[in-house]
A and B are shown apart, each in its own frame.
Chain A
């Protein structure tokens, strides 16, 4: 079946079967199997090429509206594609991580910008970064200070954003900035789209431990943006951010669970080699079983959340559970890898060893990005368990 068949929009089983068959039988996809990259920039650019192939064949256009270059269908199409990519030994292209977080919010709050830019994003010709955190506003996002000031038809953005994923190579940034009074907290924020090429934008890559430039610091020095690059209402940025976070807590979790399952399979192979040689260290068989069980559980929880979101139900504070489970999977999986691979992890010179080391460091961000583990627990305590507010008499 080709990837444009109209029935794929309503028949998810046919879509899943079709995409699996495409991914496992297309020779052109071989160049994305078992690849390890020297730099993050290389990885993002090469994996963006995979987006192009999937787009040309139709498969990755399902789940997006026609107005942005899609073929219709819903979120479950996208979630199916990511899962099948990982199952077929292919990467979930790096640019899709931010696409899943930023794309739906753009479609909902700024259809004109979505129509203008998302078609190129879907083709893998461009990708974006998300500018939320700042040097003085991490978990406490409502304290951010980067400003956008109106000047006639334009807005002028000044400030600094930190920890922008994919910032080194991103073509545009979706930033949460202050448009209200300094003390307006979450009420005076707006979401803006800034082109990386705009005068005044400076990107300084930040290497995470291990050496990879996963993140960046982005400076905005009086950057002028057209008035139509506000996403949603002026001073309405918080609701855009909250809408966006629903996707970050569900689809991102699902993508991570899909990758984690394929990493479990790789570890099983590595462990089988050990079992045939020096033997598996005490306790690691149990931990392997635990990690697999946790990955399966994350899939189950995340699938429920994704389905609710796909059905148009709001995903509220209880989605912090997904984030807590995701963090446990990432930490548990990569700690197991580190221990199981032992000296190979620590001192191996193979590209696979390097990749495990890089991913181990990246896995540490699971308890920090998108609201730290402490924030997730506080959300559950406040809004789900309805415990007395922290520090209140």
Chain B
């Protein structure tokens, strides 16, 4: 249930843009504290989390804010721990959102639950590769032993998926804004590119894909307190966000022509971040495949959204 009204949300979005644009020495946590971010989160966790991650995506910022969401859902007493995400496992044991210099312990989910391992014992290398601008680290070598901690990884993963979905939506919106602006300005055959139907329709499809992802995310939030349904709906939301980045970025790259492919233009950054975020906590292909398997093995095709609930 969203509480913040449209005006309040616009103000919050603007403040968040300033926070992510601030390149002063103060760290992100200090900047958010200054904004009184905890209060906004308490007042309206859905809107706050979604807006924070949308702006992070727009700004292409690489932070460890996701750790706070995941750890908060796992057990707030563990706040301050890092998280090893069980993704990119073909190149390492998992990824961390940044270096571990200021972390003491890292939480590692596995088949039996979650354990806490000493950060210093992890052998890391920058993830790099397709998205060279992220701070992400991949854990190479064997994982150290650690102690079991309480907490439900399934719920934590669902919270993480909702946040990453918002971040992908932010990446997509920024890429679409860029493509819309470019096709308004750029002229060929004496007309703006944006007056050609083939271009207009590709951008309209992109908009629809983003709005679809936003609706699926909002549905995932409406059932976020339901332990049985929250993971199911969060998976769908992440799948829709992941497929949106696929739909949107293919089109926004195309309408920019060769400009979309250059290192000097900004579009490649959105493509790289979108693809990398899609992989985090499950790519859209993996997630819908899992949903298909679950349906075939007896999980009901749940409606998730009830029209009579949450009616203003």
Determine whether the beta carbon of A296 is less than 8 Å from that of B216.
yes
Determine whether the beta carbon of A299 is less than 8 Å from that of B304.
yes
Contacting B311 at CB < 8 Å: which of A289, A300, A307, A377? Answer: A307
Interchain nearest-CB distance for B155 vs A (Å): 20
Q: With CB as the reference atom, state the residue of chain A lying closest to B286.
A: A286
Q: List residues of chain B with CB within 8 A of the CB of A120.
A: none
Give A residues with C-beta under 8 Å from B. 12-13, 15-16, 76, 79-80, 83, 87, 254, 261, 264-265, 268, 271-272, 275, 280, 284-290, 292-293, 295-297, 299-301, 303-304, 306-307, 310-311, 318, 320-321, 324-325, 374, 376-378, 380-381, 384-393
A57 to B221, CA, bound (A): 35
Interface membership of B296, Cβ < 8 A: yes
Indicate whether A303 sits within 8 Å of B184 (C-beta atoms), given known contacts A268-B301, A297-B215, A390-B200: no
A304 to B211, CA, bound (A): 11
Determine whether the beta carbon of A296 is less than 8 Å from that of B305.
yes
Question: Could you jot down 24 A-B contacts, CB within 8 Å?
Answer: A83-B307, A261-B301, A265-B300, A275-B296, A280-B296, A289-B289, A289-B295, A293-B236, A295-B301, A296-B302, A297-B219, A300-B304, A307-B307, A307-B312, A310-B311, A321-B208, A377-B201, A380-B207, A381-B194, A384-B207, A385-B180, A387-B192, A388-B192, A388-B195
Cβ contacts B191-219/A at 8 Å (1 or 0 each): 11011110111011101100111011011
Q: List residues of chain B with CB within 8 A of the CB of A389.
A: 195
Determine whether the beta carbon of B203 is less than 8 Å from that of A387.
yes
Number of interface residues of B (CB under 8 A): 53
A-side interface mostly: helix
Interchain nearest-CB distance for B221 vs A (Å): 10
Q: With CB as the reference atom, state the residue of chain B lying closest to A288.
A: B292
Determine whether the beta carbon of A16 is less than 8 Å from that of B211.
no
Interchain nearest-CB distance for B176 vs A (Å): 8
User: Which 10 pairs of residues, A with B, have the shortest CB-CB distance?
Assistant: A289-B292, A289-B291, A289-B288, A300-B219, A381-B200, A380-B204, A377-B204, A12-B308, A301-B215, A387-B194
A390 to B239, CA, bound (A): 33
Q: List residues of chain A with CB within 8 A of the CB of B292.
A: 284-290, 292
A392 to B195, CA, bound (A): 6
Interface membership of B293, Cβ < 8 A: yes
Interchain nearest-CB distance for B224 vs A (Å): 14
Q: List residues of chain B with CB within 8 A of the CB of A293.
A: 216, 236, 239-240, 288, 291
Interface membership of B190, Cβ < 8 A: yes
Indicate whether A261 sits within 8 Å of B208 (C-beta atoms), given known contacts A293-B216, A385-B203, A387-B195: no
Q: List residues of chain B with CB within 8 A of the CB of A13.
A: 308-309
Interface residues in B276-306 by Cβ distance below 8 A to A read: 285, 287-296, 300-306
Interchain nearest-CB distance for B251 vs A (Å): 12
Determine whether the beta carbon of A387 is less than 8 Å from that of B201.
no
Beyond the given pairs A289-B239, A321-B211, 11 more chain A to chain B contacts, judged by CB atoms under 8 angstroms and listed by A's residue number, are: A16-B308, A292-B301, A297-B213, A299-B219, A300-B305, A301-B211, A301-B215, A381-B200, A385-B200, A388-B192, A388-B194
Determine whether the beta carbon of A300 is less than 8 Å from that of B207.
no
Interface membership of B47, Cβ < 8 A: no
Q: With CB as the reference atom, state the residue of chain B lying closest to A77.
A: B308
Determine whether the beta carbon of B194 is less than 8 Å from that of A286.
no
Interface membership of B183, Cβ < 8 A: yes
Interchain nearest-CB distance for A251 vs B (Å): 10
Q: List residues of chain A with CB within 8 A of the CB of B307.
A: 76, 79-80, 83, 254, 303, 306-307
Contacting A380 at CB < 8 Å: which of B208, B213, B218, B312? Answer: B208
Determine whether the beta carbon of B201 is less than 8 Å from that of A381.
yes
A137 to B208, CA, bound (A): 27
Determine whether the beta carbon of A296 is less than 8 Å from that of B236.
yes
Q: With CB as the reference atom, state the residue of chain B lying closest to A295.
A: B301
Q: With CB as the reference atom, state the residue of chain A lying closest to B288.
A: A289
Determine whether the beta carbon of B197 is less than 8 Å from that of A390.
yes
Contacting A374 at CB < 8 Å: which of B192, B201, B294, B306? Answer: B201
Indicate whether A300 sits within 8 Å of B216 (C-beta atoms), given known contacts A272-B296, A321-B208, A390-B197: yes
Q: List residues of chain A with CB within 8 A of the CB of B288.
A: 286, 289-290, 293
Interchain nearest-CB distance for A373 vs B (Å): 9
Q: With CB as the reference atom, state the residue of chain B lying closest to A299.
A: B305
Q: List residues of chain A with CB within 8 A of the CB of B233.
A: 296
Contacting B184 at CB < 8 Å: which of A268, A384, A387? Answer: A387
